[in-house]
Amino acid sequence: MIEQAETLPLGASMPWPEVLAALPFNADGLLPAIAQQYDSGEVLMLAWMNRDALTETLTTGRVCYWSRSRERLWRKGETSGHWQSLKELRLDCDGDTLLLLVDQTGPACHTRRPSCFYNAVRGDRVEVIAAPVPVHPA
């Protein structure tokens, strides 16, 4: 249904409940969700959301994913304290990917790096391009 937005002019809108009902969740009931720091533009991580995680995130304003390894809702920061406050949720042209503009508390990555994307391919090597954030910054 979101594909119908393709021909809508800037500022036009569609009812979210109807779009949500028609989103193309994959065979596991999930959509990939990219988290991006809303002000710096840094891409922080990619995780997955089912319908419940998506609805909880929009309702509470705190980002909740679906953990594929633990097979349960994963309220990002529930153990680390490194929450993501939702600034805006966007959908792509065919509705099969979510973009979350967030305000990240602390490092996004479990390695304590600001972003999970800290490995860069350079020539025939993969280089570590970010260091963990100290636990007690000076």
Q: What is the dihedral of CA 15, 18, 21, 24, to 10 degrees?
A: -80
Query: What is the rounded CA–CA span in Å between residue 11 and residue 26?
Result: 29
Restricting to residues 36-95, name those near a second copy by CB under 8 A: 36, 40-43, 45-46, 58, 88-95
The footprint of a second copy on this chain (CB under 8 A) covers a number of residues equal to 54
Does 133 bind a second copy (CB under 8 A)? Our answer is no
Cα-based distances in Å from 91 to 68, 108, 125, 136: 21, 21, 34, 37
Q: Does 23 bind a second copy (CB under 8 A)?
A: no
Say whether residue 22 binds a second copy (CB under 8 A). Answer: no
The residues binding a second copy (CB under 8 A) are 2, 5-6, 8-17, 19, 32, 34, 36, 40-43, 45-46, 58, 88-95, 97, 99, 109-111, 113, 116-131
